[in-house]
C-alpha cells in the first residue's frame, strides 16, 4: 500500500492521499523494487475479495484497491505447509508465520497500518497496537476469519469454496476410420464434473454462466491453428455422465439465396445446422450506392483487402465483393487503415464475423457497401430440416431480389489447407513457420476443450452489490492427441517437457481474466506458428471507432513471447515489445527479472525441463510447399538476443535464399553450441 500512496487516517479509515513511497534498498547503488511482482497465480491477476464499502470509493481509489488486492497471499510458496496440506515441505519453523503474528512481520505487507492508530476494515476495528502482545489474541493460528492462514487463502485455491470444474475427454473419433483426413469430421466424447467427480448440472448448480471452447492445432512438430471457437451450450441438455458430439464450427455471412418474396427454401453449404438458441441469424441485405474496387489482387484466406478508395466506408460496414460473379462473397469491415479494409481476426470472439476471404479477387473487382437487417426466427424464417441444412422463409417477410445471408453453426470439417493463424497480418510469413494456404501435413494433432463458469463470492454477507466478487471457475485443459493422414505414431508436443515446469514458479496459470488456465490451454493458441497479438484496439464486441494508425502487432508464439517475457529487463529493446493482452491497455515486460541464480535466463532447463529440443531449434519448413526456409534461429534466439547488433549478426548468417548457417557455430557439438553458451558457471 505505501508504494501506491495508501495509509490510515486517525479514525482508522483508509487514507488514499498519502505520499507514495517507493520501496528502495542500498547495494552500492539505490535499487527500486516497486515494480517487482510475485509470480504466483491466481493473485497475479485475479484479486482477493473486495472489502466492504468498495462500491462507495472513487474510481481512482477502486483502481488502487484492485492493485493491493493482487498482493501476495501464497505464504506457503516460501514458508512451506506446516500442516502438510499442501505440496511444499515445511521448514522446521514454518508454522511461526501463523502462530506468532507480529507488527514487523504482518506490517511488512500491510504497511498502510499505522500502529499508533486504530485500523478499520469490513465492519471491525483493530485498536492501536503499541506492542505485539495482543496480535495472537485475534489472529489465531486457525479457526476464524482473522487467522493468518484463513485470511491468506485465495478463494480460487480453496477446495471448500471453489469446488472446481473438470472436463475429461474420453474419446476422439474421426467420422471414418482411425485417422482424420481432410473433408472428415471429428467427434468427441467428454464429461463435465466438479473436482470431486460429481456431474455438473449448469441448469441447477452452480447456476452461473458457462462457456465451453475448443481449439484444434497441429502438427506437433510445427503447430498451426486449425480451429478456435465456442461450443454451443445446447449440446449439454439434461445433466449426463458424458456428452458426444462433433467439434463445431461457426459459418458467418453465407449467402444462402436471393428472396423471391414467397416461401423460399434455401440450403446451407454445410450440414447440419446446429439448431440452438443464439447460434443462428438470418439477414436481408440491401446494396447501397457506396462502392469501390479491389486495388491489389487478393488470395483466398486473406484477412484484409486493399481498395482504390475507402471514402464513404466505415468500421463495421458490411460488404459484397464481386457481386453477380462466381466469386461473390460477403464480409464485414472491422477496421479501416488508409485504403486497407481489415476483416475480423480469427480471435475476435471466435468467428463473430467471417474472418478471412473465402476466394481470391482480382484487381478491379467491385466492392459495394450493403446494409443488413436481421429477421426474427419463426416470424420470418425457420429451420425446416436441420440435418440437411434447409431454411424456409415466411412468404411476405423478405423483399424480392434481396440477398439472404445466414450465420449458423455446423460440424467442423478438417480442411485440406491450413487457415490463417490467429490475428494474422502481413508481418509474419512462411519464414516464421506459418503454413496458411499450404496443404495439411500428416502427423499428430491436438484437440483441446476447456470451460469456465462465473462464481459470485460474498465473504461478508453485507448485500453490497459492489462488494460481491465474481471469480472464474476454470477447468484445467483437456487436450487429446489424434493422427491425421498416414501418420501411424503419436508424437507429443515436447518443446516444454511438462506444464508442471511452469507451476514450479507460478503454482498454476490464469490468463485472459482467469478464463484460461494452465499450460495445456495456453499452447492451443500460443504454440501456433505465425500467431500474433491483437491490434492496438481489441475491437471485439465493442464498436471499433478509434483505431490508431498502426497496429504495433507482434508475434505471440511462445518461442518468441515466453523468451522475451522471461528475459525481461535483460532485453536490449524490452520497452518496445508490447503485448496488448486482454484489453486495450499496453503491457511491457522490461521490468521483469528472471529469479533463477546464478545465470538468470541462462537456466533454459527451468522451462524446458528434460526436453533437449531447445538446444537446436527444429525445422518448421513445410515438407512440400515451402518457398523460403523457416528461420528458426531468428525466431527463437533472436527473441532474447534482441539488440540491433545481434539481429544484424543473425541476418548476416542467413543467405539471400533464407538458409540459416547458425548451426555451424551454435549447433550441438560445436564450439559455441547453445547448451555451452547457456551453461551457468
**Average pLDDT of the residues of the chain:** 88
Q: What is the pLDDT of residues 51-75, one digit of tens each?
A: 888 888 999 999 999 999 999 999 8
- Cα–Cα distance measured from residue 107 to residue 109, given in angstroms and rounded to the nearest whole number: 5
Distance CA 635, CA 627 (A): 18
In terms of average pLDDT, the best of 48-52, 89-93, 393-397, 515-519 is 393-397
Residue 50 pLDDT > 60, yes or no? Answer: yes
Degrees, nearest 5: CA angle 605-607-613: 65
Q: Which of 22-26, 135-139, 188-192, 453-457 has the lowest mean pLDDT?
A: 22-26
pLDDT of 10 > 90? The answer is yes
Contact call for residues 482 and 174 (beta carbons, < 8 A): yes
Other C-beta atoms lying within 10 Å of the C-beta of residue 534: 23
**Taking the model in full, what pTM does it have?**
0.91
pLDDT above 70 as % of the chain:
90
Measured CA to CA, the distance from residue 179 to residue 617 in angstroms comes to 29
Give the residue-averaged pLDDT of 524-537. Answer: 80
Mean pLDDT in residue range 234-246: 88
For 388, counting Cβ atoms within 10 Å of its Cβ (0-12 exposed, 13-18 middle, 19+ buried), the class is: exposed
Task: Report DSSP letters for 444-475, one per residue.
Answer: EEEEEEEEEEEEEE-TT----TTT-EEEEEEP
Cβ–Cβ < 8 Å for 88, 76 = yes
The per-residue pLDDT for 540 is 41
Whether pLDDT at 95 is above 90: no
Q: What is the pLDDT of residue 545?
A: 44
**pLDDT band per the 50, 70, 90 thresholds, residue 533:** confident
Q: What is the pLDDT of residue 585?
A: 46
Residue 584 pLDDT greater than 50, yes or no? no
Taking only the tens place, the pLDDT of each residue in 598-650 is 888 899 989 998 888 888 999 999 999 999 999 999 999 999 999 999 999 99
pLDDT range class, residue 582, cuts 50, 70, 90 = very low
What is residue 98's predicted lDDT score, i.e. its pLDDT? 84
Q: pLDDT band at 208, cuts 50/70/90?
A: low
- The DSSP secondary-structure symbol of 637 reads H
Angle subtended by helix axes 558-567 and 519-526, to nearest 10: 120
Q: For the residues of 564-596, what is the DSSP string, one character each?
A: HHHHGGG-TTGGG--B-TTSSS-B--TT-----
- State the DSSP string of 105-137: HHHHH-TT--TTS-EEETTEEEPP-SSSTTHHH
Q: How many CB atoms lie within 10 A of CB 197?
A: 9
Is the pLDDT confidence value at 544 over 80?
no
β-bridge mates for residue 375, sequence order: 282
What's the pLDDT at 144? 79
Amino acid at each position: 500500500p505505501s508504494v501506491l500512496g495508501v495509509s490510515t487516517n486517525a479514525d482508522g479509515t483508509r487514507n488514499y492521499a498519502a505520499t507514495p513511497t517507493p520501496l528502495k534498498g542500498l547495494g552500492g547503488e539505490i535499487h527500486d523494487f516497486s515494480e517487482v511482482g510475485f509470480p504466483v497465480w491466481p493473485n497475479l491477476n485475479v484479486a482477493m475479495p473486495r472489502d466492504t464499502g468498495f462500491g462507495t470509493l472513487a474510481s481512482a481509489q477502486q483502481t488502487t484497491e484492485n492493485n493491493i488486492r493482487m498482493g501476495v497471499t501464497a505464504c506457503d510458496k516460501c514458508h512451506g505447509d506446516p500442516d502438510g496440506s499442501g505440496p511444499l515441505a515445511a521448514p522446521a519453523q514454518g508454522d511461526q508465520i501463523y502462530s506468532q503474528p507480529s507488527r514487523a512481520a504482518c506490517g511488512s505487507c500491510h504497511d498502510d497500518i499505522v500502529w499508533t492508530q486504530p485500523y478499520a476494515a469490513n465492519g471491525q476495528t483493530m485498536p492501536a497496537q503499541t506492542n505485539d502482545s495482543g496480535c495472537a489474541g485475534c489472529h489465531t493460528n486457525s479457526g476464524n476469519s482473522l487467522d493468518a492462514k484463513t485470511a491468506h487463502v485465495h478463494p480460487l485455491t480453496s477446495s471448500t469454496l471453489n469446488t472446481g470444474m473438470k472436463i475429461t475427454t474420453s474419446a476422439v473419433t474421426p467420422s471414418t476410420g482411425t485417422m482424420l483426413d481432410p473433408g472428415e469430421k471429428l467427434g468427441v466424447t467428454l464429461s463435465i464434473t466438479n473436482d470431486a467427480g460429481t456431474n455438473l448440472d449448469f441448469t441447477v448448480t452452480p447456476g452461473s454462466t458457462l462457456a465451453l471452447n475448443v481449439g484444434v492445432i497441429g502438427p506437433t512438430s510445427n503447430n498451426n491453428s486449425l480451429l478456435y471457437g465456442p461450443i454451443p451450450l445446447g449440446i449439454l441438455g439434461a445433466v449426463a455422465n458424458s456428452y458426444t458430439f462433433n467439434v463445431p464450427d461457426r459459418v458467418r455471412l453465407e449467402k444462402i439465396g436471393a428472396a423471391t418474396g414467397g416461401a423460399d427454401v434455401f440450403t446451407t453449404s454445410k450440414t447440419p445446422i446446429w439448431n440452438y438458441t443464439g447460434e443462428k441469424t438470418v439477414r436481408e441485405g440491401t446494396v447501397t450506392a457506396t462502392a469501390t474496387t479491389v486495388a491489389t489482387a487478393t488470395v483466398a484466406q486473406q484477412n484484409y483487402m486493399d481498395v482504390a478508395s475507402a471514402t464513404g466506408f466505415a468500421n463495421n460496414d458490411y460488404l459484397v465483393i464481386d457481386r453477380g460473379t462466381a466469386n461473390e462473397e460477403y464480409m464485414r469491415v472491422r477496421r479501416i487503415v488508409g485504403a486497407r479494409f481489415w476483416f475480423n481476426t480469427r480471435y475476435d470472439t471466435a468467428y463473430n464475423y467471417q474472418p478471412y476471404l473465402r476466394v481470391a479477387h482480382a484487381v478491379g473487382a467491385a466492392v459495394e457497401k450493403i446494409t443488413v437487417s436481421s429477421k426474427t426466427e419463426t416470424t420470418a424464417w425457420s429451420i425446416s430440416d436441420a440435418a440437411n441444412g434447409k431454411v424456409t422463409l415466411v412468404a411476405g417477410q423478405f423483399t424480392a431480389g434481396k440477398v439472404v445471408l445466414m450465420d449458423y453453426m455446423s460440424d467442423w470439417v478438417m480442411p485440406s489447407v491450413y487457415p490463417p493463424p490467429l490475428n494474422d497480418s502481413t508481418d509474419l510469413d512462411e519464414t516464421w513457420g506459418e503454413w496458411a494456404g499450404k496443404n495439411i501435413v500428416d502427423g499428430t494433432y491436438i484437440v483441446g476443450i476447456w470451460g469456465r463458469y462465473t462464481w459470485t463470492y460474498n465473504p461478508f454477507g453485507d448485500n453490497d452489490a459492489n462488494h460481491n466478487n465474481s471469480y472464474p471457475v476454470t477447468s484445467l485443459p483437456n487436450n487429446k492427441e489424434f493422427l491425421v493422414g498416414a501418420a501411424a505414431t503419436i508424437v507429443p508436443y515436447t518443446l516444454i517437457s511438462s506444464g508442471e515446469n511452469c507451476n514450479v514458479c507460478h503454482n498454476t496459470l490464469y490468463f485472459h481474466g482467469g478464463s484460461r488456465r494452465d499450460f495445456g490451454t495456453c499452447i492451443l493458441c500460443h504454440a501456433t506458428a505465425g500467431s500474433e497479438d491483437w491490434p492496438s484496439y481489441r475491437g471485439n464486441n465493442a464498436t471499433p471507432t478509434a483505431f490508431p494508425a498502426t497496429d504495433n502487432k507482434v508475434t505471440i508464439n511462445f518461442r518468441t513471447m515466453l523468451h522475451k517475457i522471461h528475459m525481461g529487463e535483460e532485453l536490449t529493446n524490452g520497452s518496445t515489445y508490447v503485448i496488448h493482452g486482454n484489453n486495450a491497455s499496453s503491457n511491457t515486460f522490461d521490468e521483469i527479472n528472471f529469479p533463477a541464480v546464478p545465470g538468470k535466463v541462462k537456466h533454459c532447463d527451468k522451462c524446458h525441463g528434460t526436453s533437449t529440443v531447445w538446444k537446436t531449434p527444429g525445422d518448421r519448413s513445410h515438407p512440400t510447399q515451402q518457398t523460403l526456409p523457416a528461420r528458426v534461429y531468428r525466431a527463437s534466439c533472436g527473441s532474447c538476443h534482441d539488440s540491433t547488433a545481434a539481429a544484424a549478426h543473425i541476418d548476416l548468417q542467413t543467405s539471400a535464399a533464407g538458409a540459416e548457417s547458425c548451426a555451424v557455430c551454435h549447433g550441438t557439438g560445436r564450439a559455441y553450441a547453445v547448451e555451452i553458451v547457456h551453461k551457468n558457471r
